[in-house]
Chains A and B, each alone.
Chain A
Amino acid sequence: MPSSLSWLHPFWAFALPIAASFPLGWLMWRSLDVPEGRAGRGLDALPMLLCRLIGRKTPLKMDWKRYAIAMLAFNAALFVLSFAILYAQDKIPLLNPDGKGPLTALGYKDTAGVQHDGADTAVIFNTVCSFVTNTNLQHYSGEQHLSYFSQLAGIVWLMFVTPAAGLCVMLATIRGLRGDTHLGDFYVDLMRGVLFVLIPYALILAVALVGLGVPMTFEKAAAATTVDGAATKMETQTIARGPVAALVAIKQAGTNGGGFFGPNSAHPFENPSPWTNLLSIASIVMLPMASIVMAGLMLRNMKHAMVIYGVMLTFLIVAAVVAILAEVRPSVATAGMPVVQGPNMEGKEVRVGPIAGATWAAMTTATSNGSVNSMHDSLNPIAGAVPMTMMMLNVVFSGIGAGFENMLMYIIVAVFIAGLMVGRTPEYLGKKVEAREVKLAMLAILIHPLLICCGAGLFAATAWGTTTVANPGSHGFSEILYEFTSASANNGSGFEGLADNNPAWNIATGIVLLLGRFPALILPLAVAGFLSVKKRVPQTTGTLRTDDLTFAGMLLGTVLLVGALSFMPAVVLGPIADHLSSFVP
C-alpha cells in the first residue's frame, strides 16, 4: 500500500480547482459577458482593437445561425492553414534545429504487416482534425516527428483558439437561454476569450512550470556522454527538448491534452515533479469548472448552475475514488512472483505514483483534456474502465464550453421526461420546451454512442482493428473501443499500444473527431436560439424547478440511464471481461 500521506493528493487535486473556480468564474463573467454599453471601455479596448484589425468597428449582433456560420468559417480557415503548416514542415526554414523531415514521410504497416514508407498524408488529416476539434488525439509522436515551429505554429496556436471557440459558443448559448435579443459577435468573444482567459492563465502557468524544471529552449536536442556507457553500450544519449513549457501550460489550461513528447505528462520534461503534477491536474479542471460558475452568473441563476456543478462533481468524485481503489491493488502480472505485491507500477512514474496517476486518469477524461501522466493501456482493467466511462458520459465538466453544451442537451431531455411524469408542458428557464428542442437534444445525445459503437464494431470485426491491437483478448477490444470513445468525446487520450498511425485509423478517427465536435456545439446553440425567441411563461407553483436537489437527481439519473443503455454491452466486452479474465489462472 502507498504511504498514508499520498492519500492527500486527491484532496488537493479537488480542493484547489474547486476553490479557484469561483473567483475565476467571476473574472470570466466580468471580462467575457460585457454589456453593450460597456463594450470597448477600459481593458475591453484591447479585444476591440484586435477586432478592428479584422474590420469590426463595433460588435455585430448575430443570431444563432450567423454565430454558427462565423464559428464554422473560422474553424475551416484554421483547418486549411494548419494543414498547410504541417504539410510543409520540412520546407519551413524556421525553428527546426534537429532538421525534422516531412510529416508525410511517416511510414506505417498495412493490415498484411507490410511496411509502407512515406506519403501518408492521412496522418496530417488526422492531426489537423484532432487539434481543430480541441481533441489532441495524436497518431504521431511529438519529439520524433515535429519541428519546434510545427509544435508552436501547428499545435500551440490551435490549443489556444479551439477552446476559445468552444467558450464562444457557450457564451452565445447562454445569451440565448436568458432571452437576449441577439447572441453576440463570435469574433469579439473569441478575442476576449484568448486575451483575457487563456493567454494570462497559460503565461503564469508556463513560467511556473519552467521554474519547476520544464524546458523552454529553442536549442537543438542535447547530446550527453553517459556515465556507464561502456557497460550499457550506449555512449551518448540524445535528449530531445524544446519550447516545452509554452505548450504544456496551454495543453492543461485549455482542455487540450496533446503532449510535446509521445508519453505526454508521464515524460519527466513535461511533468518533472509532484509540484508540476499538482499544478497540471488542477489546471485540467480549473477552467471547465469556472465556466459553469460563469454560466450561473450570466443566467443570474447561481442555484441552477450549482445543480449542474454538483451533478458533474458527483460523477467526478465517484470516478476518481473507483480508479484509485482499483489502481492501488497489485497488477495481476506480478501475482505469484517474488515481487512486492504493491500498487500497479507498469506505465507509471515513481514521482507520480499510483494514486496521483489514477486521480489524473479520472480528471483528464472527465474534462475533455486527455493528457496522461501514466499509460492508460497498462492500468488495472477496472481503473482503465473509469476513463472510458467518463468519456462515454462526456458531460462531467468536459471541454471548456463544450461541457456546458453537452450537459444542456441532457437538461432538456431531463426536463422533458420530468414534464411527462407530472403531465405538464416542460419548461426550462421560463421558456416552453417543445418537440423541436427535444428532437435536437436527442440527436445531439445519440450521435456520440452512434459514432463510438459503429466505429468500434466495424474495426473490431475487420483487419483494420484486429491487426493493430497490441494486447490479446478483451484488452485488445478495449484498445479499439477506447480509441473511438476518445475521438468522439474529443478527449485525445488513448490506450496507446494500438498501432493507430495508418490510413484506416487516421481517416476513421479523423471523421469521428469532426462529427463528435461540431454537431455537439451547434445543436445546443440552435436550441438556445429557438428558446430565445419564445415568450417567457410566468413561474407558478406548478413549474418544475431546475434549481433543487430533486432536479439534480433527475439530471444525474438521465445521464446515467442514457449512458448505461448506450454503452453497457461494449464496456462488458472490454474492461469488465478483461477484469474477470484476471482471475483465470
Chain B
Amino acid sequence: MIRETVNAFLACVVTFLLCVVAYPAAVYAVGHTLFPRQAEGSLIERDGKVIGSALIAQPFASEKYFAPRPSAADYNASAASGSNLGTTNPDLRTKVAERAEALKATSARPAPTDLVTASGSGLDPHISPEAALFQADRVAAARGMRPDQVHALVETHVDRTGELIGAPPRVNVLLLNLDLDRQNVRK
C-alpha cells in the first residue's frame, strides 16, 4: 500500500518533468527560433504600433471599411465565444433578421450567409469572397473610389490556398482594410 503510493507519486514527478518542463521547452525553443512571428501571435504593426493580429477579427463599423462577421463575443479577444444558439431558437431568427436589415438586404440582393451568422469563436478573421463583394460598392462610395478598383482589390485578397484539401476561399478582413487604407492614401 505504502509502496504503491510512493511509486505513484514518484512516477508523477518523473512524468511531470518530461511533459511539463522538457516538452514545452522543446516546442518553445524550436518553434520560437524557426517561426518567431507566428509564435508571438502573428501581430501586425503599423507606424510602430501593434494594431492587431492577422488571425484575430477586430470590429469595423465605418462605412469605408469592410465589416467582419458578427461576433457573439463582441470581438473580445480575451473572452472568445460563439452564440451557441440552436437553429430552432427564435432568438437566432430575430438576430439574423436584424443583421439582414442592417445590411439592407433584399430578396433581389440577399445577404451572404456568413454576414448574418455569428462565427464559432466570435473572432473569425475571414469572410467569404461573396461577403466581401457584397460590401464592395458601399466601401467604394464611402472612399470616393471606383467600384471596380475595390472589386479588383478584393480579388487580390481572395485566399484560395488549400483548395485541394477542401479549403473554402476566404478574405482576411483586417489585411484587406489595411491595404485599402494604403491604396487610398497613395491617390
Partner-B contacts on A (CB < 8 A): 2-3, 5-12, 50, 53-55, 69-70, 73-74, 76-78, 81, 141, 143-144, 152-153, 156-157, 159-161, 187, 190-191, 194-195, 199, 202-203, 206-207, 210-219, 221-228, 231-232, 234, 237-241, 243, 245-246, 249-250, 261-263, 266-269, 272-275, 277-278, 330-334, 337-353, 355-356, 372-375, 377-381, 470-473, 475, 478, 495-497, 578, 581-582
Contact = CB atoms under 8 A, between A and B. Distances in A.
B26 interface: yes
B152 interface: no
B19 interface: yes
Nearest to A261: B80
Given A6-B167, A267-B80, A338-B110, 14 more contacts: A8-B166, A74-B11, A194-B19, A199-B23, A225-B50, A225-B51, A226-B52, A227-B174, A227-B178, A239-B43, A240-B78, A267-B121, A340-B113, A377-B86
Contacts of B166: 5-12, 274, 353, 355-356
A187 B128 contact: no
A578 B35 contact: no
A266 to B, nearest CB: 3
18 contacts: A6-B166, A77-B11, A156-B19, A160-B15, A199-B19, A237-B52, A239-B52, A243-B28, A250-B19, A261-B80, A267-B123, A269-B41, A273-B167, A331-B117, A342-B113, A347-B82, A349-B126, A350-B124
Interface of B: 4-12, 14-16, 18-20, 23-24, 26-28, 30-32, 34-35, 38-43, 49-53, 55-62, 65, 69, 74-90, 92-93, 96-97, 100, 105-107, 109-114, 116-128, 130, 161-170, 174, 177-178, 181
Nearest to A497: B84
Contact of A241 (B40, B59, B79, B81): B40
Contact of A6 (B35, B82, B118, B168): B168
Contacts of B30: 207, 210
B77 A240 contact: yes
B32 A339 contact: no
B120 A263 contact: yes
B80 to A, nearest CB: 5
Contacts of B163: 5
Given A215-B41, A218-B28, A263-B122, A190 B80 contact: no
B7 A346 contact: no
Contacts of A55: 6-7, 10
B61 A232 contact: yes
A238 B77 contact: yes
B62 A231 contact: yes
A143 B80 contact: yes
Contact of B40 (A215, A227, A246, A343): A215
B40 to A, nearest CB: 5
Contacts of B164: 5, 8
A224 B75 CA distance: 12
Nearest to B16: A157
A259 B110 CA distance: 36
B85 A346 contact: yes
B85 A471 contact: yes
Contacts of A210: 27, 30-32, 34-35, 38-39
B105 A207 contact: no
A497 B128 contact: no
A2 to B, nearest CB: 7
A345 B83 contact: no
Contacts of A10: 166
Contacts of A74: 7-8, 11-12
A141 B162 contact: no
| List of 5 A-B pairs having minimum Cβ-Cβ separation, nearest first | A9-B166, A266-B120, A274-B167, A497-B84, A210-B31
Contacts of A161: 15, 19
A147 to B, nearest CB: 13
B7 A54 contact: yes
Contact of B83 (A272, A274, A347): A347
Contacts of A3: 168-169
Contact of B127 (A6, A350, A374, A473): A350
B105 A339 contact: yes
A349 B124 contact: yes
A157 B32 contact: no
Given A6-B167, A206-B27, A228 B16 contact: no
Contact of A332 (B4, B40, B87): B87
A345 B126 CA distance: 13
Contacts of A274: 161-162, 165-168
B20 A153 contact: yes
Contacts of B84: 347, 375, 377-378, 470-471, 495-497
Given A191-B14, A217-B40, A273-B162, A333 B5 contact: no
